[in-house]
Structure 1
């Protein structure tokens, strides 16, 4: 006997966004204050339901704009400095008390972004340091100090997004996505230090990144915005894979 549509329970697809940036030399994540039930008043990741006439990437970009006022672009859009990719799919029963919900999470990486503006059904939006939300092992800080966790299973999604970003910095040129169009080696080093949560030796780092084919391209300019002697400016090169990779120090 064939199944009828009425035989299936309510089912929905959502997108959740792990938006990471480096602010004040710290890796920070975008969180929104939920304005509706369930979990009204809790912090959570931006996101929402996928509409019937849109694909997943369009839904992710729409939700980001509606809830925060920020714009995201796909990796092939030609807009420099913003990176958007699918992260993972989460579909455990009971993860949403309303109905069976499968969420396709997306990872968004961008340079130092301004304060977000909440919109849509969000009651507020803020950047929070990742180390205030997760401990070094990727466990929700709420589990460690008794604070309320993020809504739904967003602690897990955030931890997965942070680990994806940390791993991608090892073997890809993605670190430049946290920088502006032109940057110094020192500014790039601080991105690695913020994302990895370590302190790197400046000389060794300079030797590695400038010696990796296609990673950095000198612009011919210099800057004194860091103070001290003028520092050479670079832009991201054409390389997408780092060979050799930039491995994280063991901590």
Structure 2
């Protein structure tokens, strides 16, 4: 029960966006350089405060993404809510984070309070040398882990391939998102064991080494069973992308 002297706490509601894509066979995240305080000149996720009490939260996320990076028509899904005290020097700020994992995104165009917008490799964004504003390093890490889990349980990886592709090309998507090197024979076995994941399509294609490779296309199932789980059959990659 509230007495007549109770007043609701002053809490600001914001949105942050983790937008992931593949560029040059590496997983990248969209970052902007902040043009205003706090953390002016520091890289951050695109986002901002709701415009007013009548603005829908997801609408605010789409508006901020368009205003700060010039991107629109991106499929967003809720990621998490971040509201620890002290995460923002302007006051008690609760942020609703959204995630998008989308192929073939264009170069971002900075606007409003963003000085510039850029694609940054996930390795660079999460490195100990990188400085991200607020608690955005944690939010990026959470978004990347969600993306990696989605590749385990869904057919999302095929969206990053062409209409037809080889299993080697599909493996490259998994390696880029998971940040690990996979054993080709084990990967082939897992892909073939996931019912409805991919189906054979068309004639053989000659690869760069001259060997013929069978072509596939995305299958009918979006949920993978059994899932493509990350296991001990992988070798961690070094900082230059090579296996240790």
TM range (shorter): 0.7 to 0.9
**Matches of 1:99 and 1:223 in 2, distance apart?**
59
Moved more, 65-74 or 149-158: 65-74
Q: Which runs of 4+ in 1 moved over 4 A?
A: 221-233
Q: Which has more radius of gyration?
A: 2
**Matches of 2:56 and 2:208 in 1, distance apart?**
43
Correspondence for 1:64 = 65
State which of 135, 142, 163 in structure 2 corresponds to 1:153.
135
Verify: 1:170 aligned to 2:172, yes or no. Answer: no
Following superposition, the deviation at residue 113 of structure 1 comes to 2.5
Q: Please, what TM-score do these two structures have when normalized by structure 2?
A: 0.83
From the superposition, tell whether residues 182 and 48 of structure 1 become closer, same or farther in structure 2 (CA, over 3 Å). farther
Residues 4-83 of structure 1: pairs in structure 2 closer than 5 A? 7-51=7-51, 52-74=53-75
Residues 225-236 of structure 1: pairs in structure 2 closer than 5 A? 228=210, 231-236=213-218
SS at match of 2:33: strand
**Matches of 1:85 and 1:58 in 2, distance apart?**
12
Q: Which consecutive unaligned segments of at least 5 residues does structure 1 have?
A: 75-83, 135-140
From the superposition, tell whether residues 59 and 179 of structure 1 become closer, same or farther in structure 2 (CA, over 3 Å). farther
**Matches of 1:243 and 1:222 in 2, distance apart?**
27
Q: Is the 8 A contact 1:64 1:72 kept in 2?
A: no
From the superposition, tell whether residues 231 and 115 of structure 1 become closer, same or farther in structure 2 (CA, over 3 Å). farther
**Matches of 2:113 and 2:119 in 1, distance apart?**
18
From the superposition, tell whether residues 188 and 56 of structure 1 become closer, same or farther in structure 2 (CA, over 3 Å). farther
Q: Please, what TM-score do these two structures have when normalized by structure 1?
A: 0.81
Count of residue correspondences: 230
Q: Is the 8 A contact 2:148 2:178 kept in 1?
A: yes
Following superposition, the deviation at residue 175 of structure 1 comes to 2.0
Q: Is the 8 A contact 1:166 1:195 kept in 2?
A: yes
Q: Is the 8 A contact 2:69 2:109 kept in 1?
A: yes
SS at match of 1:199: strand
Tell me the alpha carbon deviations over residues 96-141 of structure 1, each in whole angstroms, 9 at most, x when there is no partner. Answer: 111211111111101143321112221101111111122xxxxxx2
Q: Is the 8 A contact 1:14 1:104 kept in 2?
A: yes
**Matches of 2:91 and 2:165 in 1, distance apart?**
47
The two structures, once aligned, show a CA RMSD in angstroms of 2.4
